[in-house]
């Protein structure tokens, strides 16, 4: 009897925590990455991902206020900025408050393109080949972001000089919804400079062949979203074909350093996080 009461109380606590506390318990994760190519001047990168606006706008707004004083050199956004078209306005408004000396660049994720209703969101977790019927207005999102100083790299790359260093920022569009065009994204990218790949799904690194990349940044997995103490991310449902090793945090794929972030938000199917706090990432690149 006592055990039953304890288990009911424990389950109630976990549900309250996972729904009411942890999805808003944001953290700024700081990491240092040393590239073998060598940089004459270190730079800072703020990586944001999976905001899924318009969910939790007020909480994210408070968190973003803490990010503004960081004054990063770059801001990179790795997809799922919005969940529905109602997310476009708060997304653009909040991002326009963050300044980056060398620029803000983004790629889109599956949720930027599609509006998943509840049933489609459930089905997506079992069969990723199914596409929702309704699309989001991603054209408007892209245009509004451009007006706010954020360039969406739509299977394209750009070069950003910084003193003696040269950055090649390559944006591969969403692999999950078959929008990635890797040859197009890498067109003109040579061996020189620091090559940074932005992708929603880290699985893109297995698709790029010999294309040169030093650092790949991704989101999509939400770090597992529901993890277990000591074990971390469960071995199933990682949303990452490359496997658990690449589904959260730092890893290395051949010569590429990869970082997959927990992201900031949650999707419409599961407003729940456990042992997997939402995060923004400040990378010091040396």
Q: Please report, as ranges, the residues that interact with Fe ion according to CB under 5 A.
A: 50, 80
**Burial level of 1, CB count in 10 A (0-12/13-18/19+)?**
exposed
In the bound state with Fe ion, the residue whose beta carbon lies nearer, of 120 and 165, is 120
User: Smallest distance, Å, CB 111 to Fe ion?
Assistant: 6
In the bound state with Fe ion, the residue whose beta carbon lies nearer, of 80 and 279, is 80
As a whole number of angstroms, the distance between CA 275 and CA 282 comes to 20
User: Smallest distance, Å, CB 161 to Fe ion?
Assistant: 32
In the bound state with Fe ion, the residue whose beta carbon lies nearer, of 193 and 219, is 219
Q: How far is CA 277 from the centre of its chain?
A: 14
User: Smallest distance, Å, CB 80 to Fe ion?
Assistant: 3
In the bound state with Fe ion, the residue whose beta carbon lies nearer, of 18 and 267, is 267
Total number of residues shown for the chain: 286
Beta-strand ranges (E) seen in the chain are 27-33, 43-48, 74-78, 103-107, 114-115, 134-135, 150-152, 156-162, 165-171, 194-198, 215-218, 249-253, 256-260, 279-285
User: Smallest distance, Å, CB 281 to Fe ion?
Assistant: 15
In the bound state with Fe ion, the residue whose beta carbon lies nearer, of 70 and 270, is 270
As a whole number of angstroms, the distance between CA 91 and CA 89 comes to 5
In the bound state with Fe ion, the residue whose beta carbon lies nearer, of 176 and 194, is 176
As a whole number of angstroms, the distance between CA 20 and CA 116 comes to 23
Nearest to 235 by CA among 65, 227, 163: 227
- Running DSSP on this structure, what letter comes out for residue 86? G
Q: Compute the chain's Rg from CA coordinates.
A: 19
User: Smallest distance, Å, CB 182 to Fe ion?
Assistant: 21
In the bound state with Fe ion, the residue whose beta carbon lies nearer, of 22 and 80, is 80
Cis peptide before 185 (omega within 30 of 0): no
- Running DSSP on this structure, what letter comes out for residue 223? G
In the bound state with Fe ion, the residue whose beta carbon lies nearer, of 44 and 258, is 258
User: Smallest distance, Å, CB 222 to Fe ion?
Assistant: 6
User: Smallest distance, Å, CB 262 to Fe ion?
Assistant: 10
Q: How far is CA 170 from the centre of its chain?
A: 15
* Longest CA–CA separation in the chain, Å: 70
């Amino acid at each position: 009897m006592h055990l039953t009461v304890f288990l009911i109380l424990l389950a109630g606590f976990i549900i309250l925590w996972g729904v009411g506390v942890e999805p808003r318990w944001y953290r700024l994760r700081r990491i240092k990455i040393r590239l073998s190519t060598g940089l004459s001047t270190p730079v800072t990168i703020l990586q944001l991902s999976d905001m899924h606006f318009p969910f939790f706008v007020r909480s994210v707004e408070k968190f973003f206020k803490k990010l503004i004083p960081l004054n990063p050199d770059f801001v990179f956004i790795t997809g799922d900025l919005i969940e529905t078209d109602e997310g476009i306005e708060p997304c653009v408004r909040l991002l326009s408050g963050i300044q980056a000396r060398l620029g803000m660049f983004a790629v889109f994720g599956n949720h930027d393109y599609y509006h998943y209703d509840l049933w489609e969101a459930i089905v997506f977790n079992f069969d990723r080949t199914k596409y929702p019927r309704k699309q989001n207005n991603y054209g408007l999102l892209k245009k509004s972001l451009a007006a706010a100083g954020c360039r969406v790299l739509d299977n394209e790359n750009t070069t950003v000089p910084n003193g003696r260093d040269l950055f090649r920022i390559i944006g591969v569009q969403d692999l999950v919804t078959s929008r990635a065009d890797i040859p197009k994204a890498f067109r003109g990218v040579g061996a020189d400079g620091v090559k940074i790949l932005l992708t929603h799904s880290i699985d893109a690194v297995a698709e790029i062949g010999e294309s040169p990349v030093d650092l790949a940044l991704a989101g999509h997995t939400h770090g597992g979203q529901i993890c277990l103490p000591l074990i971390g991310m469960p071995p199933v449902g990682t949303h990452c074909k490359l496997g658990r090793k690449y589904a959260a945090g730092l890893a290395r794929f051949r010569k590429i350093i990869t970082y997959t972030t927990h992201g900031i938000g949650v999707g419409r199917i599961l407003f729940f996080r456990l042992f997997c706090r939402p995060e923004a990432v400040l990378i010091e690149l040396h």
